[in-house]
Amino acid sequence: MQYVGSPSGFEAFVPSGTISYKGQTDPEGDLILPNGTTLTNVIWNGQYAGTIIQNHNQIVQLNNQFVGQTDPVNNQPYVPLQDFYVIKGQVPIQQATLNGQTYYVIEADKINPANIAGFYTYDKWVPKFEVAINTQGTYAAGLPGNSPVFQWTNTTGTVAYQTIVYQHYANLFGRSVLILPNKTIIPYGITTSPSGSALFNFTSPQQSYNPSS
């Protein structure tokens, strides 16, 4: 067993499919570390494995349904969204070889469930989100229903609205933004489960975002 990541930081597991491991079907994907390094061929084994597979399948189905259509608010094309699972503190992993391929196996049962929460955003922004939550001064806020952000004719405006569209079809809840120290914003949503209490500042933002005019 080894531990990767930072004791005071956040890591992000990004599922892309499933794999058979020790007789179980587990999520497989990447693990992004606080310094931006990405480990590939990562298996999530243990608690929430089934929930992650279910969440990911819902996002994939919604992408298949909506990508190629147009956001009715800003008239821009919808983009592919991606679910990911943030772990607070270091991640216990061990190496395993399957069919000649080396994998990193996250031993999720050794992680306090309070330290695991699921999110979703534009797939290309997942690494940016991971860097942002590890950046001092980044905070989260909610978007009011009449927020001007939804009207923005860029990907930020699209993703802000698209996170809300998806919540009508899945165990998801949209309408949040990360605000970076340089005032960049990253719209995102959360999964109903997992939603660990240690990530409360990001899963339940306590303030509203109003862009400075």
pTM listed for this prediction:
0.97
pLDDT of residue 213: 46
- What are the boundaries of each domain within the chain? 2-203
- Cα dist from 87 to 20, 36, 44, 98, 193, whole Å: 23, 14, 12, 25, 13
pLDDT of residue 212: 73
Please, what are the averages of pLDDT over each run of 10 residues along the chain (213 residues)? 96 98 97 95 98 98 98 98 98 96 98 98 98 97 96 98 97 97 97 98 96 69
pLDDT of residue 15: 98
State pLDDT tens for residues 79-103.
999 999 999 999 999 999 999 999 9
State pLDDT tens for residues 49-65.
999 999 999 999 999 99
How many residues make up the chain in this entry? Answer: 213
The CA distance from 48 to 109, in Å, is 9
Burial of 143 per CB tally in 10 Å (0-12, 13-18, 19+): buried
DSSP 3-state assignment of 146?
A: coil
Number of alpha helices (DSSP H) and beta strands (DSSP E) in the chain: 4, 11
Contact (Cβ atoms closer than 8 angstroms) between residue 173 and residue 164: no
Picking from 113, 120, 107, 208, the residue whose alpha carbon sits closest to that of residue 169 is 120
